[in-house]
Structure 1
Amino acid sequence: MGCAECGRELGAPARTGRPRRYCSRSCQARAYRRRRDRGRLAAAVRRTPPEPRTDRMIAAALGLADAEGAEALTLRGVAHRAGLPLTAVQQTLGSRDRLVETLVQHVLSRRRPPAPPTGTPAQALARLAEHEWETYRAHPWLVGVLATTRPPLVPAVLDLARASVDAFVALGLDTATALRRYLSLSGYVQGMALLIRAEQQESARSGTTYRSWWGRETRRLDRTGGRLRHPWLDELTGDAAPDTFDADAAFRDGLGRVLAGLTGVGDR
């Protein structure tokens, strides 16, 4: 049975006395004010959630992070977006750190890396790097959370790290060296992903396209004589000017070279 005012579950009924009609004193007071102001026959406004509360909170948090970045993740912001009381979010998630950990686990567990391939360890590492890259492309805020020396060590993060470490170990490296190689590889992926995040933030802040910025800067270099000192810029102006920041092309151009260095046998 649900609360007569908000529809939440009331829990186990009391053994004695009258059956409970409200989940809290605030709902009871709200119902009283509604009857007083609008009449006893006014229908109660029920907020029956279409899905479990925790799922609503996670969906709200993901929408908030995707739209405004990890900096916007607050318990109050999630409560507002989910249409839930702040106290409910606090009781479920506890703190902002717990909120971030829960969201990271949710995103990474839904975007699982490819199954262990039958190819070489280097091919496995390439697939894992591509998977990490695509995850950051889908959720640019995530790189700001994970690109740190102290990321949230939720199970999904550890699973991703283990897969890459195992691939490096399969090349004959000890675990400590394999971990360093993994951090180097992930650092490359994260560094490129940070450029995506920075470009999105700059576009939102300035309201200008990458091509417009590039054109403005090349005109400034013309006025200051910078183009004379950097003739290679001539090939990147006019019709050859980039329309967008092509992060995918830059990432894939470097990935093979990075992997070749990290998986080579001559520098062990």
Structure 2
Amino acid sequence: MDCAECQDELPSPAGTGRPRRYCSRACQARAYRRRRDRGRSAPRHGDVTGAWASEAASTSTPVTVDDLVEAAVALADRQGIESVTLRSVARHTGASPVRVERLIGSRDRLVAAMTQHVLSRPRRDPSAMAPGSAARIVALAQSEWRRYERHPWLVSVLASSRPPVEPAVLEHAGDVIDAFVRHGLDPADAFDRYIALSAYVQGMARLLTSEQHETRAHGVTYAAWWAAQHRRAERTGRDRRHPWIAQNTTASGADGHDDVARWFAAGLPRVVDGLLARSTP
């Protein structure tokens, strides 16, 4: 007999009793979730023929690239970029893996399309921002930061020496570089300083994603962790040797977001001022 979910061959029964339908608890749970979320007629895991039939029967409009990209973004927002594969997107949209691969091509192309999607949403026109190079660059950096707040997975995609070179990525980089050039820097120097600014924004954003990972992995919030560190410093006397510990006894929020956002806001104008300073011979 074969598993009712994945179609792998079932092991030989060990004795009498009700025959097994699934090869593992994972297949049993997958079948339950499928029936719960999409009904008993939904295709089995890996059943490409059934997936095509289900898609054709359930909707007169086949799934589109936009549908797949939006589903992938929603999945990454909930579970992280690691959860996004062509198969997982197919499962969440009800499309067949064959159709997803035909429309998207590869996971790298899917991630690139996700990046373009979230960065190309309406944004402020740089020409409408406050006059002055510093104010414009700060506004552009804040815009990038807000993208990372809404889509934490995005920083792991863009914080690379080889990010997806999509139109929206190039447009944002061009806006920042142009602001540096308007300040009087040559294009090559402007590019170097754009990279330095982006590294600051992305580095602060990585603190957010790191804290989310720590909370999920250990079940301890940032506020609880920091309170424990403060008690330990009091117990060992370290707070007397390092007075700044006693002056920062509480976290602004349980998840650390408010603290990181405050640190980012405090440092950004100072970083920009430093990047706009001309090098002395």
SS class of match (1:212)? helix
Counterpart Cα distance in 2 of 1:177 and 1:129: 18
Taking the TM superposition and a 5 Å limit, the aligned residue runs for 1:187-226 are 187-226=199-238
Matched AA of 2:198: S
Q: Is 1:261 matched with 2:279?
A: no
Residues 195 and 151 from structure 1, CA distance in 2 versus in 1: closer, same or farther, beyond 3 angstroms? Answer: same
Q: Distance in 1 between matches of 2:109 and 2:252?
A: 41
Stretch of structure 1 that moved more, 156-165 or 50-59: 50-59
Q: Counterpart of 1:46 in 2: which secondary structure?
A: helix
**In structure 1, what is the equivalent of residue 113 of structure 2?**
102
Cα gap change, 1:49 to 1:101, in 2 (>3 Å) = farther
- Aligned counterpart for 2:71 among listed residues 60, 64, 73: 60
Q: 1:209 to 1:197 in 2, by over 3 A?
A: same
Give aligned-pair identity as a percent: 43
Partner residue of 2:248?
A: 236
Length-normalised TM-score, structure 2: 0.74
Structure 1, residues 226-255: CA drift from partner, whole Å, max 9, x if none?
334323211222xx4544421221111001
* Pair member with larger Rg: 1
Q: Whole-Å Cα distance in 1 between the matches of residues 265 and 102 of structure 2?
A: 44
| Partner secondary structure for residue 57 of structure 2 | coil
Return the offset for 1:267.
4.2
CA pair 49-106 structure 1, distance change in 2 beyond 3 A? farther
Q: Secondary structure at the match of 1:216?
A: helix
CA contact (8 A) 1:114 1:127 kept: no
SS at match of 1:116: helix
Match of 1:247 in 2: 260
Does 2:212 align with 1:177? no
Q: Deviations over 1:20-57 (max 9, x none)?
A: xxxxx946x979xxxxxxxxxxxx98210677422221
Structure 1, unaligned runs of 5 or more: 1-5, 7-24, 32-43
Deviation of 1:153 after TM superposition, in Å, equals 0.3
Question: How much has 1:174 moved relative to structure 2?
Answer: 1.1
Residues 174-225 of structure 1, C-alpha deviations (whole Å, 9 max, x = no match): 1110000111111111111111111112222222222111122223334444
CA contact (8 A) 2:68 2:89 kept: yes
Residue pairs, 1:17-56, within 5 angstroms = 26=49, 46-48=57-59, 52-56=63-67
User: For residues 235 and 67 of structure 1, do their structure 2 counterparts lie closer, same or farther at Cα, with a shift above 3 Å needed?
Assistant: same
Verify: 1:134 aligned to 2:150, yes or no.
no
**Distance across 2 between alignment mates of 1:208 and 1:49:** 47
Aligned to 2:32: none
Paired AA for residue 144 in structure 2: E
Partner residue of 1:36?
Answer: none
